[in-house]
Chains A and B, each alone.
Chain A
Amino acid sequence: MRRPLIEATPSPDKQPLDYETLRDVIDLSLWAGQLLLHSGAESQQVEETVHRLGTGLGCNWLDILVSPNALVITAISDGEFRTKVRRVVNMGVNLQVIVEVNALVQRVLVGELDRHELRIELVRISHFQSGYSRWTVALMVGAACAAFSSLFGGDAIIWGITFLAATGAMLVRQELQKHYFNPFIIVVVTAFAASLLAGIAPLFHLGNQPQLTLTSAVLLLVPGVPLINSVQDLMKGYPMTGIARGVTGAVIAACIALGLLLAMSLLRMNGL
């Protein structure tokens, strides 16, 4: 994104916004940015989308600071400016929200939505439920982990046990999430449950490589999105969010290892 050399050069085609409107524009921009950060968007994407939204709603320029747990925006219109902070609490992954917010921004840019309609749409997105039932998610995640075991060279028995263990673990994770446990505790307990269930294979010497069930069943917890976003943010000039996401990813990996080791010591296994 190119920045102007002189701050807030008023563009001739834009009317100066009044007090009410500027307040609304910065509020809506922050809301959209918060939704994106809550859904696992990378920092550059957040900055660009929010900038497009704000200028599309009539501002001359927006300065956006993306930090790991807050979003700060200064909106400028004809020399008048306003700054506001909004807290960002969790960094989950919900790609449907990213798709919807992007579609909204496109509609604002072509002039299909004004700020009042945008507010209604943002309320709708904020209250969205998952498009998939609990069981669909659990079974699909189970299949994904079982697919990993096949990629590592496991046979059909390994596939089946990994599938059952990962599906069971996902159900445990959903149950814990429903009661708002601390996210790191959820990871430890889920990893423990996954490896305990997967422990059937090494305990009874089933399949061609019994240990693979443990290796694959905990993969449902791997913090893929934070880790990838971490490197992307670092490369694209957002070191603060990059470091924060990297550390979060590393702590989650440590929690997986902890749950796995607890189960392994119960099963009297040493080493994978």
Chain B
Amino acid sequence: MTGFDLVKLVVSDALWSGVAALGFAVLFNVPKRLLLGCFLSGAVGHTLRTLCVNSGASVEVGTLIGAGGVGFFGVYLSNRFDVPAFIFTVTGAIPMVPGVFAYQTVIGLLQATSATGSQTVDFLSTAGLNGVRTALILCSLAFGIAAPTLLLRRSNPVA
């Protein structure tokens, strides 16, 4: 891949993932003054993931790195705008949520019921794989955006 292709990929990826985060931020009723932060947070996370996947990492590992970026960037934005980091981490994570994997799992299961012969097994195994991938991507996503809290704010759990 040439340098020009890489720049083109990063720019379009950042733009579209930012728009995706922005749209959901409006759906979640984020105040107007914070919308730019949500756009940037979405763009940072997904672009990091795309770069990781492009250099050969799996989507799961890429999500972990991208979500970690969203988590730490969220802490920065939270200090800057004086609102909880949750606002930016949740909207920033939205472009990386494995939505397609999630509903394709169910579609596979439903299609297996009406399939015949060896097709049933195909549908079931694809559905199982999609389910596992949904769970793995979700776990890396949640761990990544929680990383600053989990790593930097520890306390002794006295009962």
Asked whether A2 and B20 contact (CB < 8 A) given A98-B87, A222-B102, A228-B90, the answer is no
Closest chain-B Cβ to A151's Cβ sits at a distance in Å of: 5
A123 at interface by CB-CB < 8 Å = no
B20-51 contacts to A, CB under 8 A, are 20-32, 34, 46
Assembled-state Cα–Cα distance A96/B52 (Å): 33
Contacting pair A99 B83 (CB below 8 A): yes
Contacting pair B158 A218 (CB below 8 A): no
Contacting pair A41 B93 (CB below 8 A): no
Please pick, from A45, A147, A260, the residue contacting B20 in the complex, using a CB distance under 8 A: A147
Please pick, from A1, A222, A256, A258, the residue contacting B97 in the complex, using a CB distance under 8 A: A222
Contacting pair A143 B19 (CB below 8 A): yes
A132 at interface by CB-CB < 8 Å = yes
A248 at interface by CB-CB < 8 Å = no
A113 at interface by CB-CB < 8 Å = no
A209 at interface by CB-CB < 8 Å = no
Output the nearest chain A residue to B141 by Cβ-Cβ distance: A228
Asked whether A231 and B141 contact (CB < 8 A) given A95-B90, A147-B23, the answer is yes
A272 at interface by CB-CB < 8 Å = yes
Give the residues in chain B near A136, CB-CB below 8 Å.
Answer: 26
Assembled-state Cα–Cα distance A232/B158 (Å): 21
B159 at interface by CB-CB < 8 Å = yes
Contacting pair A96 B30 (CB below 8 A): yes
Output the nearest chain A residue to B12 by Cβ-Cβ distance: A150
Output the nearest chain A residue to B108 by Cβ-Cβ distance: A257
Asked whether A272 and B94 contact (CB < 8 A) given A99-B84, A232-B146, the answer is no
Size category of the binding interface on chain A:
35 or more
Contacting pair B27 A257 (CB below 8 A): no
Proximity bits, A80-113, B CB within 8 Å = 1, else 0 = 0000000000000111111100110000000000
Contacting pair B29 A261 (CB below 8 A): no
Assembled-state Cα–Cα distance A272/B94 (Å): 22
A225 at interface by CB-CB < 8 Å = yes
Closest chain-B Cβ to A168's Cβ sits at a distance in Å of: 15
A108-133 contacts to B, CB under 8 A, are 130-132
B68 at interface by CB-CB < 8 Å = no
Assembled-state Cα–Cα distance A65/B29 (Å): 27
Closest chain-A Cβ to B136's Cβ sits at a distance in Å of: 11
Give the residues in chain A near B106, CB-CB below 8 Å.
Answer: 253-254, 256-258
Output the nearest chain B residue to A152 by Cβ-Cβ distance: B100
Asked whether A147 and B150 contact (CB < 8 A) given A1-B155, A257-B106, A272-B107, the answer is no
A215 at interface by CB-CB < 8 Å = yes
Contacting pair A93 B28 (CB below 8 A): yes
Q: Which residue numbers of B lie inside 8 Å of A, CB to CB?
A: 12-13, 15-17, 19-32, 34, 46, 83-84, 86-87, 90-91, 93-95, 97, 99-100, 102-107, 110-111, 138-139, 141-143, 145-146, 150, 155-156, 158-159
| 29 residue pairs A–B, Cβ–Cβ below 8 Å | A2-B158, A93-B27, A93-B28, A93-B29, A95-B30, A95-B86, A96-B31, A99-B34, A99-B83, A136-B26, A140-B22, A140-B26, A141-B23, A142-B23, A144-B21, A150-B12, A151-B95, A222-B102, A224-B93, A225-B90, A227-B97, A227-B138, A228-B142, A230-B142, A231-B138, A235-B146, A257-B107, A260-B103, A261-B111
